[in-house]
Chain A
Amino acid sequence: MITQSEPLKVKDLKSDVKPIWCPGCGDFGVLNAMLKALTDLKLDPAYVAIASGIGCSGRFPAFVNAYGFHGVHGRVLPLATGIKVANPELTVFAVGGDGDAFSIGAGHLPHAARRNVDITYIVMDNEIYGLTKGQPSPTSPVGMEKKASPYGTYDIPLNPTAMVLSYGATFVARGFSSQPRELTELIKRGVQHPGFAFLQVISPCVTFYDTYARFKDIAAPIPEDHDSSDRAAAIKLAMTTDVQYLGVFYQEEQMSHHARVDQVRDKAGSDFSLEDLLKRFVR
């Protein structure tokens, strides 16, 4: 993490590109919490890179005065992995929506988790495809009637938090865009976590599937007596769906991907010369 003594203010970190999001979109809350987290952590924005996939939330990088990469649909995790691997000094974020993370890009999640790449992955989950104007997503509840599901959805929704916990992720948390202070803290903890930090953020879509009221009703902080080093207990909490717990479900310190890469380099040694290598092929 590269910091600076004079932290920038939120307004300096905000780019002059105006978000295209609908008024009231949960993603505004996530953006503001992220900017606050960056200033609180005194991060040098020259060393911050934000990668994103496709969806409403994919526009995120352009709104921040930091390095950004708006990639293709579903591939934000490998993209962010590449960015981090090539320069471990960078603080790397991956951001995207539920379609990007749990549908088209779902195959990358377990691998980012098991590599324990030191990136913070913020998934803005609105349970709908917003950018394409309201089709069911992998987290949409059964029975949702949309143009693409005129008789109601019938596929069972995924449980992202439980899923990622089962992948062995070393940091798993859930936040809510309507709770900016708590969300800022979660993002900060994710950044400080030396490994893959997964953050599911409930970020409702006011236009196609407004869940503000529902989540305000069922959201509750994780019970104080929860042991966040107990993965089984964390999964149990995550499996509770009538209450949506917010906070850190699980955290564990494990060697990060770049620490493991450094170990490999030590094992390989550094006595390399092209001349010697070519000698192996001299006839």
Chain B
Amino acid sequence: MPVNDMVIRIGGESGEGIVTIGEIFVRIAAFSGLEVYTFRTFPAEILGGHVTFQARIADKPVLSQGDDIDVLVCLNQEGYDNHIHELRPGGVVLYDSTTAAPTADAGDHTLYAIPVDELARSIDFVRGRNLVMIGAMVQLFGLPLDKAEQMVRRRLGRFKDLLPKNLEALGLGYNYAQENFTQRPPVYLEPPMEAAEEGLVMTGNQALALGAITAGCRVYAGYPITPATDIMEFLAKELPKVGGVVIQAEDEIAAINMTIGASFSGVRAMTATSGPGLSLMVEAMGLASMTEIPVVIVDVQRAGPATGMPTKTAQGDLYLALYAGNDDPPRFVVAPSSVEDCFYQIINAFNLAERYQIPVIVLSDQALAPRVESCDRFRVDDVQALDRELVDLDANGDYQRYRITETGVSPMTVPGMKGGHYTAEGLEHNEKGNPNYTPEMHSAMMQKRRRKVDIARQELALWSNVVEEWGDDEAAIAVMGWGSSLGPVQEAMARAQETGLKVAALFPKVLLPMPDLRIKRFLRGRRAIIIPELNQRGQFARVIEHRYSHELIRDNIEIISLTKYQGLPFRPVEIFDKIVEVAQLLTERARID
């Protein structure tokens, strides 16, 4: 079992503090200089229902939640019974011996019985059970006690009265483990000796919200929906401090229309939702496209259709984002692939929206939004906010809001600019913005608006952070994908390369406009492209097949769609196995040829 690469699962009833144990433990690990990556499943209920908190902790950047569970922590019998069968052979179990007992099928696991409840009661602090367990975990897995104490102060310091008790409980668990267990667990952590690099630890939604503020977003309108709500909560606290505002709208339709109105007034504005909300926003997204008002719409995808599984993940809204809307309104689509990437891609989204006066949809998902990841410090100073270009009315006597230009981008004014008034018109209109239904005008305007997509495609070819490409240039097998499956793909590829396989990979971060040149260059010389994604029909695979059918047929490249629709993210092994399978297939074919 590897040292310094550990997947730990904590299971129990909602309301027992499972998440608290997990969140504090991973932060202690991160604080000690290790890299972390969490994965949570929630029940839909507020209280009650089964919760799982899973984290992977390692000494190199963690790219996925891992394949197998090395460690199980349980605070009661149910936590034990529910998860023991998923523990890898030779795993480690920590359990509260006051409330749980191992069953006969414990196998070859190493068991650590900690009388958590009893210890907490011994200091008259039943609520401190979590901290007792954390203390024992810190000791057993080799994390420093002083870092643990500092983290508890940081995370729980706001409950001043309880802080001494919490620290006492932590120490109690730590000491119990130290005194009673001489055997080191088969899996443990070794934090680096030197001081931890000053990286960041946060969730995808926090990174999105921070990115939005950095990009200059000052109006946010939204309606509560899992798993997007904490973007609104974060901004509700921070935006007023910079003169901004958060409006909790009466529904998603109101939210998007408020966002459009605010942007019309000249302020960068955004809304965030999940699939059901995006479905409601579709008509107004078309309005933003037609009236050429920049807006950013975040869709934190969850498993559907309809209400679906609000707390489970999916990448099922790609078609919705790419194609929704009557008569196909031009829009852009951006998909971040990690917590860190959330920060940079939302900035890209704002810049694209402002520059091209167009709605931009950002596709995150339920796996990316709530998970805690460690990452490098954001390069805030490098961030460039591209403003929408407002027309100089003194120099430009003949202002026409919807002037047909070579780039498709027209001059723009905002209310308050004298002589710059126009009507943002949802009907087809002429260059002045007046309703106009002539066949010539309609086709000219349709082309003008669509032109922005092609011009943006050219500009994006020069941007550095909109495509991620890695692996062996010469490989016959490649993996393509989008969004949060990047991490598992990176890990699967590293493993494949270790076994001597050659694989290349490409993940576009901007899915519309698609980076055609990069992709066509990437396809050259390949035999098979594996496309893993979390939806039923292989939406991205179908897009690639359709868009590059000429290249695929000409060069005899096969698209192999790997789909998963269980509400769960990919495990690296699922992608690794596919790579191996395809490699064997290609070898066999070569033999037959």
Contacts and interface: CB of A to CB of B under 8 A. Distances in A.
Given A67-B415, A71-B287, A269-B241, A83 B262 contact: yes
B415 A282 contact: no
Contacts of B420: 46
Contact of B415 (A47, A261, A268, A277): A47
Contacts of A269: 241
Contact of B240 (A62, A90, A264): A264
Given A46-B420, A68-B423, A80-B261, A268 B241 contact: yes
Interface string A66-95: 111111100101111111111101100000
A266 B39 CA distance: 38
Interface in B422-461: 422-427, 433-435
A87 B254 contact: no
Nearest to B207: A281
A69 B264 contact: yes
A61 B261 CA distance: 14
Contacts of A79: 257-258, 260-261
B198 A282 contact: yes
A82 to B, nearest CB: 2
A248 to B, nearest CB: 27
A236 interface: no
Interface string B225-263: 000000000000110111101010111011101111111
A225 interface: no
B423 A62 contact: yes
Interface string A245-281: 0000000000000000100110111111011011001
A271 B219 CA distance: 19
A75 B218 CA distance: 22
A213 interface: no
A53 to B, nearest CB: 10
A283 interface: yes
A46 B416 contact: yes
A128 to B, nearest CB: 21
A93 to B, nearest CB: 12
Interface in B251-285: 251, 253-255, 257-267, 269, 283-284
B542 interface: no
A71 B426 contact: yes
Interface stretch (B133-141, B349-357, B372-380): B372-380
Contact of A272 (B200, B241, B419, B434): B241
A108 interface: yes
A65 interface: yes
A51 interface: yes
B417 to A, nearest CB: 6
A108 B418 contact: no
B421 interface: yes
A49 interface: yes
B415 A274 contact: no
Contacts of A89: 416
Interface string B29-45: 01100000000000000
A87 B199 contact: no
Nearest to B286: A72
A78 B206 contact: no
A82 B269 CA distance: 9
A111 interface: yes
A107 B223 CA distance: 14
B385 to A, nearest CB: 12
Contact of B265 (A46, A90, A107, A265): A90
Interface string A231-247: 00000000000000000
Nearest to A47: B416
Interface in A209-233: none
Contacts of B262: 82-83, 85-86
B529 interface: no
B544 to A, nearest CB: 33
B27 interface: yes
Contacts of A17: 434-435
Nearest to A275: B380
B519 interface: no
Contacts of B265: 49, 82-87, 90
Nearest to B31: A283
A259 B210 CA distance: 26
Contacts of B259: 82
A78 B214 contact: no
Given A62-B423, A67-B422, A78-B249, A278 B415 contact: no
Given A70-B427, A79-B260, A281 B200 contact: yes
B511 interface: no
Interface centre among A17, A81, A275, A283, by most chain B C-beta atoms within 10 angstroms, is A283
Contacts of B260: 71, 79, 82
A27 to B, nearest CB: 16
Contact of B435 (A49, A62, A72): A62
B254 A108 contact: yes
Contacts of A267: 240
B380 A278 contact: yes
B201 interface: yes
Contacts of B267: 86-87
B51 interface: no
B213 interface: yes
Interface string A144-179: 000000000000000000000000000000000000
A45 interface: yes
B415 A82 contact: no
B419 A46 contact: yes
B492 to A, nearest CB: 27
A193 interface: no
B261 A278 contact: no
A281 B202 contact: yes
Contact of B201 (A108, A270, A275, A281): A281
Interface in B281-298: 283-284, 286-287, 291
8 contacts: A46-B415, A49-B265, A49-B415, A71-B257, A75-B254, A83-B264, A87-B415, A278-B200
In the complex, the 3 A-B pairs of residues with the closest C-beta atoms, listed nearest first: A82-B261, A68-B423, A86-B265
Given A82-B263, A110-B250, A265-B241, 13 more contacts: A59-B435, A67-B423, A69-B424, A81-B247, A82-B260, A82-B261, A85-B261, A86-B219, A86-B269, A274-B213, A281-B200, A282-B377, A283-B200
